[in-house]
Each structure stands twice: as C-alpha cells, then as structure tokens.
Amino acid sequence: MADIRKLVRLLNELDEELVCCTRCGMCQAACPLYGETGRETDVARGKLVLVENLSKEILDNPEAVKERLDRCLLCGSCEAACPSGVKILDIFLKARAIITGYLGLSPVKKAIFRGFLSNPDRFDRLLRWMARIQGPFSKQIDETLGSSCARFMSPVIGDRHYLPLAKTAWHKHAHRRFKRPNHSGPKVAFYPGCLIDKVLPRVGDAAMRVFDYHQVDVFVADQVPCCGIPALAAGDRQTFEQLVRKNIQIFESVDYDYLITPCATCTSTIKKLWPLMTENFPAALREKVLAISEKTRDINEFLVDVVNIQPIGDQPISEKRVTYHDPCHLKKSLGIFSQPRAVLSALPDREFVEMREADRCCGMGGSFNLQHYDISRKIGQKKSSRIIESGADVVATGCPACMMQITDLLSHAGCGIAVKHPVELYAEALDKMGETEAAAHTPASEAKAK
C-alpha cells in the first residue's frame, strides 16, 4: 500500500478548490440523495469537509471517506446550485481517483474495468455472450417499454425492470465512412456510447435516419470504446486514461466538423472530464484531447443550433402529449435544456408539456443504482410521479442511462407511458410524414456548416 503521506500530499493539491466552500449549506436543497437520507455526509458540504479533513490529517481514515464519497450520484445538482461556484464534481472525481489510488481498486471492479471495459473487443464479446444467455433468464414484462425482469430470483438484478441487451452491438452493423468528401454540409463523427450501442440500438438507428434526412454526412467507427466515466467514477484513472487514448486514436485520422453523441453522459464526459483529467498527458496528446472535446456536441444541440431543424407539418392539435426529463449531464453540466425541447416542439402529432421539476435527478447515477438500488429507486419514484402527473403518454430524455432508470420506474408503475429519446420521436415523425411531403422541408444544404 502506498504511503499515507503521499495521499495527503495529493489531496492537498485540491486545497485551492476545497477552500472555496463557504459551508453555506445551500447544496442541501439541490441534492436528491440528501433529500432522501437527510445525512450531512450525503450532501456536497459534508463530503467536501471529509475530503478537506483527510487532506489536513484531521481525519485519518481514507476508507471511511471513500465510502461516503462513493455515496453520490455525481449528478452535479449541488454544483449547479452552489452560490460560491465550488467545482464540486471536479473535487469529487479527483478525490475518488486519489483515494482509490491509495486504497487500490476492489478486485471485482479491477476485473471489470481492466479486464473488459478497457478492451472494447473483449467487452463486445462479453456482452454478446451475455445477450445470448439472457433469454432463458428473463421475461418480457411491459410491451410499451420493452422492459424485462428476472425470471428467477437474482441478487444482481433484484426486482429491476431492465431493457435487455442487444443481440449484437449497434456499431457492428452501423459503422460507415463519409460518403461525400467534398460536400458542404456538416460532417459528423457519431459516437453512440456504450448504452446506446449495447442496450438501445434503436436510438442509434433513429439518429442515422435523422442525419440522412438532413443530409448530414456521418462517420461511425467500427469500434466503440467507452468514454471512461464508469472507470473515472470508480476512481480508476488508469482505465479512464486508456479509454481516452483509444478514442483519440480512432478519431484522430477522421476529418470531421463535430463529434455527435446522443448520450448526455458521454457528451459531458468528453467535453468536461476529458480536459479536466488529462492535464498530465504529453502536450501533443493533450492537444488532441482538447480538440475532440471542443468539437463534441449533444445531438439535440446539434440538430437545433447547427442543422436548424424546423417544426414538421402544421402542428395539428393533438391528444397526444410528450414531456421531457432533463438529464443532469445535459442541463446541469452543459447548460443544454432548450434544444431538446425545441426538438420535441417540432413534432407534428404531439403537444409538448412540461412536468414539474423536470430537472430533478432521476436517481440513476451510473453505478450508484447498482450499489444503492433502494435509495436510487426512492429518488426515482419522485420522478415517475412527476411524469405520470404531467399527463403525457411519452416521456423523452436525452440520456440512455436516464432512459433505463425511467423505464424501470414506469414499468413498475405499469402506467403505459413510453420512454424515448427525442431523436427517436423526431425520426418517427419524419417517417410518418412520408416521402412526398418530405421533399418540401429543410434540406441540410441550407444548414449552417460549423
């Protein structure tokens, strides 16, 4: 085990950030976890105090700090609400990496991250194998949502209503090269992210449909390494860095204007965490990281701000309603909330309605859901009641992880509300509009390049 002095020294480097917390406690109102437990160690203020105390040797128990630091959705609600502008998530992630570096990664996580996640081919094979065996163990439970539950008691899955794994990863059959090298419209590299690739391929298909309609030239790589957030959240900086390098390798030889992702979490990881956590990369590599992160856009943002999509058809009054859940990684981390709403307002056959507290975290929080399913579900139940109360028959959201969590919640509630990505709904509308009418609408040649 490493030297405790080194741990203290590394944590001390966070002091400049830590000292900005004035202990005002305003993060309490925003934190979904604190909202359930009321424990000071669950809210940002308490966690920051523990990290600071560990770094000042007022507390000498890194295990205790790690345990409390890990109880967090990393949703960033606290940071968005913090009057002092404390970079809470940066501190949390860096502190997790430092403490994990000192304590070591748990054997299970080590096996998953270093054995599979960091090796995309092996990861794909594992999931293909799991997809094959999942059949006999699960049964479909909700047709609208496409959710399943475990057929037998399973300690891992518990009572979850989950979306089954895709038979093959989406990118295996979707990969493509730019078709029109000299074409004037935007050229995008599409990055589906693990969840869309392996659980929600329909979203990837929808994105392609939309790009084709707007004549956006697309590149899809034949390998999809993870963006690294699961590893980073677990404090495994080594795997994270490996994944960033792998991704850079794939995209460095491609000449694209934007890197588009339909996953809020991937977008915010690439845009914010890649630059944050690669400060020690060699200069040349670091430049590539910054370049890719600079070009990265959320797909809603791209469609509205770059492609400039317009309402489809005459917006007939409809009984059907769609509401929207703000993924934390889009709204709180990147400030993107008007664009997905603009996409939904463009739909011809649905009225857009706001739910209350649309930006309240759904409780997923990546692996938080695995480790603290009960709390995750309690937080989520507030979300599902807001969705139901909105009267919508579809809830849209721009993050596949939120989609999974909300699917689980709504499937349990059995309320017949579907969960979709805004891009899916937009693609469906394009399909419905039919070919003839389609010709009359904005083609991408009008779209602003860059």
Ligand X SMILES: Cc1cc2nc3c(=O)[nH]c(=O)nc-3n(C[C@H](O)[C@H](O)[C@H](O)COP(=O)(O)OP(=O)(O)OC[C@H]3O[C@@H](n4cnc5c(N)ncnc54)[C@H](O)[C@@H]3O)c2cc1C
Among positions 214-233, residues that touch ligand SF4 (CB under 6 A) are: none
Q: Which residue's entry shows tokens 């009267």?
A: 391
Among positions 220-259, residues that touch ligand X (CB under 6 A) are: none
Q: Which does 226 bind (CB under 5 to 8 A by kind): ligand X, other proteins, ligand SF4, none?
A: none
Q: Which residue's entry shows tokens 């430092």?
A: 98
For position 22 contacting other proteins by CB under 8 A, the verdict is: yes
Rounded CA-CA distance 101/220 in Å is 35
Distances in Å between the alpha carbon of 31 and those of 247, 273, 354?
A: 33, 21, 21
Angle of helix 44-55 versus helix 4-12 axis, rounded to 10: 130
Q: Which does 65 bind (CB under 5 to 8 A by kind): ligand X, ligand SF4, other proteins, none?
A: other proteins
Rounded to the nearest whole angstrom, what is the least distance from the CB of residue 333 to ligand SF4 in the complex?
10
- x-marked contacts with other proteins along 33-72 as a string, rule CB under 8 A: -----xxxx---xx--xx--x----xx-x--xx-xx----
For position 234 contacting ligand SF4 by CB under 6 A, the verdict is: no
Rounded to the nearest whole angstrom, what is the least distance from the CB of residue 22 to ligand X in the complex?
8
Q: Which is nearer to other proteins, 58 or 254 (CB)?
A: 58
What one-letter code names the amino acid at 49?
V
Q: Which of 388, 448, 429, 427 is nearest to 202 (CA)?
A: 427
**According to DSSP H, which parts of 38-160 are helical?**
44-55, 62-70, 77-81, 88-103, 107-110, 120-137
Rounded to the nearest whole angstrom, what is the least distance from the CB of residue 26 to ligand X in the complex?
6
Rounded CA-CA distance 441/433 in Å is 10
- x-marked contacts with other proteins along 153-182 as a string, rule CB under 8 A: ------------------------------
Secondary element (H or E) of residue 296:
strand 296-298
Rounded CA-CA distance 368/118 in Å is 20
Considering only residues 11, 14, 18, 44, which one is a binding residue for ligand SF4 as defined by CB under 6 A? 44
Rounded CA-CA distance 408/404 in Å is 6
Secondary element (H or E) of residue 140:
strand 138-142
Rounded CA-CA distance 177/218 in Å is 7
Among positions 7-46, residues that touch ligand X (CB under 6 A) are: 24-26
Contact partners, residue 194, CB within 8 Å, separation at least 6: 123, 224, 226, 227
Q: In the chain, count of helices (H) and strands (E)?
A: 25, 10
Rounded to the nearest whole angstrom, what is the least distance from the CB of residue 35 to ligand SF4 in the complex?
9
For position 78 contacting ligand SF4 by CB under 6 A, the verdict is: yes
Rounded to the nearest whole angstrom, what is the least distance from the CB of residue 368 to ligand SF4 in the complex?
8
Q: Which is nearer to ligand SF4, 293 or 376 (CB)?
A: 376
Rounded to the nearest whole angstrom, what is the least distance from the CB of residue 354 to ligand SF4 in the complex?
22
Residues forming contacts to ligand X in the complex (CB under 6 A) are 24-26
Residues forming contacts to other proteins in the complex (CB under 8 A) are 19-20, 22-26, 28-29, 38-41, 45-46, 49-50, 53, 58-59, 61, 64-65, 67-68, 83-85
